[in-house]
Amino acid sequence: MAVGGSVFVEELDMKEVLTSEFENDPIYRLALLNKLEDSIFTESILSLHKDTTYSTVETGKIIDRSDSTIRNHFRSELVDYIAPEKYGKFYRLDYKSVFRLHLIFLLMDKVGKTTIDILAELGVQPGISVTGNFRKMPQRNENKNFQYENRENYDIVPVDTRLLEFENKLDMQGIMINILKYEKDISDIERLISDTQSSINKILVRSRVKFEKEISELEKDIAKNQSSIIEAQSQSKMKFLEERQSLLITKSLKNSLKKSSFLGFLKRNDDVNVQQLATEIDGSLKEKYDNELQEKIKEYNFTIETLNSKKKHLEGKLEVLINQFDSSTLSNELDTEIQREIKEYIAKIEELQQKKNSLEDKLQSENDRFTLIQSNNKEVSTLNSPIE
């Protein structure tokens, strides 16, 4: 009870901390204005710790976003508001930075806000920072001074350069919007591919259970026929012994009667050669039962071979079926009925994969354009920096 209570207190404390910290934050207030409060304080957000920093991958798990999507926001002017800490190529985010990212994504997903909308809410003219340092995002009450300082620097830059910078900034904003759209479209396609593959796997699981059940039944029949062979051998031996005993008694009595005469009462019955009789009986009788037994064994073995052949055929089908799991290519060795069931799903996956590949190419192209324009922007900024 104490542990559960402690967790609840921690979550409550984090909510109080964030509410107090972001009370005057324009983005937080915008989220509240758009009635997003139920989506703001998620379980993962409330599990944040004040004294912990998070990587972009860890942050992605907390706010359910990909690492690349988060990093793309660090290329826009929103990086100043998010305020991550940069260590070489890597970023670390404290609880406030994670919460700011969470608010941005909420407004984009649920309200349809763009980067430009959010920057405008922060009181900043859209533009791209070309320095490697993190600037503090000006608050509304600082906005006038911020714009005045920028205007002074802006006035000393040639008109054609200003136009070039402005065009570059607009291009970069457009590219950022495209990048976010492509990433969302790719994510949606991946989800559709996953859902379609799940539908295929359900059909495959059902077929796999069916094959495994049939193989199990065949194995039972094989075992039953093998047991029948052992039983037939046992019964053949018993019948042989019974008939041997019966014939031995009958022939012994007959031989006894043949040797009897009017003086027969003077002779002993044990004069009959029992061992010789047994040998004579065994020769013919054993051959009879051996032949019968071999016929039965032959029938059982034929049945076992047929069952093993069916089992091997089903095992081959089962192996092909197992290899089809999570595969986007339809195997021609699959059972015809199964092929018919999953053919449309496979075609859908192939179509979605082509769309995904096309979007990934476009995304890479936009990333390359972004990098190129950002590099050009830095060169322009360096050339037009005031000489001290």
| Integer Cα distance of 382 and 370 in angstroms | 18
Provide the CB-side half-sphere exposure for 136 (13 A, CA).
6
The whole-number pLDDT of residue 212 equals 93
Residue 331 has pLDDT above 50, yes or no: yes
Q: How confident is the model at residue 93 (pLDDT cuts 50, 70, 90)?
A: very high
Q: How confident is the model at residue 22 (pLDDT cuts 50, 70, 90)?
A: very high
Range in 7-21, 104-118, 242-256 with the lowest mean pLDDT: 7-21
What the block records as the tokens of 298 is 């032959």
What the block records as the tokens of 54 is 């998070």
* Residue 207 Cα distances to 213, 289, 314, 320, 334, angstroms: 10, 46, 11, 11, 11
The whole-number pLDDT of residue 114 equals 85
Q: How confident is the model at residue 386 (pLDDT cuts 50, 70, 90)?
A: very low
The residue among 191, 185, 189, 201 whose CA lies nearest residue 345 is: 201
| Integer Cα distance of 267 and 362 in angstroms | 118
The whole-number pLDDT of residue 230 equals 94
The whole-number pLDDT of residue 287 equals 83
Contact 98, 58 (CB under 8 A): no
**Helical H segments across the chain, by residue range:** 2-21, 26-33, 37-40, 43-46, 56-63, 67-73, 78-82, 95-106, 115-121, 143-155, 159-258, 274-324, 336-383
The whole-number pLDDT of residue 332 equals 84
Q: How confident is the model at residue 8 (pLDDT cuts 50, 70, 90)?
A: very low
Question: Element (H or E) spanning 75, and its range?
Answer: none
The whole-number pLDDT of residue 373 equals 78
Q: How confident is the model at residue 298 (pLDDT cuts 50, 70, 90)?
A: very high
| Integer Cα distance of 213 and 311 in angstroms | 11
Share of the chain above pLDDT 70, in %: 77
Q: How confident is the model at residue 259 (pLDDT cuts 50, 70, 90)?
A: low
Model confidence pLDDT, tens digit, residues 113-146: 888 888 888 876 554 433 333 334 444 444 444 4
Model confidence pLDDT, tens digit, residues 282-297: 777 888 888 889 999 9
The whole-number pLDDT of residue 202 equals 92
- In the block, residue with structure tokens 């204005």: 33
Residue 336 has pLDDT above 90, yes or no: no
Domain spans in the chain, listed from the N-terminal domain onward: 1-126, 152-260+268-388
Contact 214, 100 (CB under 8 A): no
- 329-335 average pLDDT score: 83
Question: Element (H or E) spanning 85, and its range?
Answer: strand 85-87
Range in 160-164, 302-306, 349-353 with the lowest mean pLDDT: 160-164
The whole-number pLDDT of residue 56 equals 92
More confident residue, 134 or 322: 322
Average pLDDT value over all residues in the chain: 80
Beta-bridge partner residues of 54: 93
What the block records as the tokens of 325 is 């799991």
Residue 102 has pLDDT above 90, yes or no: yes
Pick the CATH number of 152-260+268-388 from 2.70.98, 1.20.120, 1.10.287, 1.10.10: 1.10.287
Contact 109, 140 (CB under 8 A): no
* Residue 198 Cα distances to 167, 191, 205, 340, angstroms: 46, 10, 10, 17
Model confidence pLDDT, tens digit, residues 345-376: 988 989 999 999 999 999 898 888 888 877 76
The whole-number pLDDT of residue 381 equals 54
Strands 85-87 and 90-92: antiparallel
| Integer Cα distance of 270 and 283 in angstroms | 23
Q: How confident is the model at residue 380 (pLDDT cuts 50, 70, 90)?
A: low
| Integer Cα distance of 127 and 381 in angstroms | 13
Model confidence pLDDT, tens digit, residues 33-75: 988 888 999 999 999 999 899 999 999 999 988 888 888 888 8
What dihedral angle (degrees, nearest 10) is formed by the CA atoms of 166, 169, 175, 178?
-90
For residue 262, which phi and psi values (nearest 5 degrees)? -65, -20
The whole-number pLDDT of residue 210 equals 92
- 141-158 average pLDDT score: 46
Residue 180 has pLDDT above 60, yes or no: yes
Burial 298-328 (b: 16+ CB within 10 A, else e): eebeeebeebeebbeebeebbeebeebeeee
Contact 93, 85 (CB under 8 A): yes
Handedness of CA 325, 330, 334, 337 (dihedral sign): positive
More confident residue, 384 or 166: 166
**Helical H segments across 94-158, by residue range:** 95-106, 115-121, 143-155
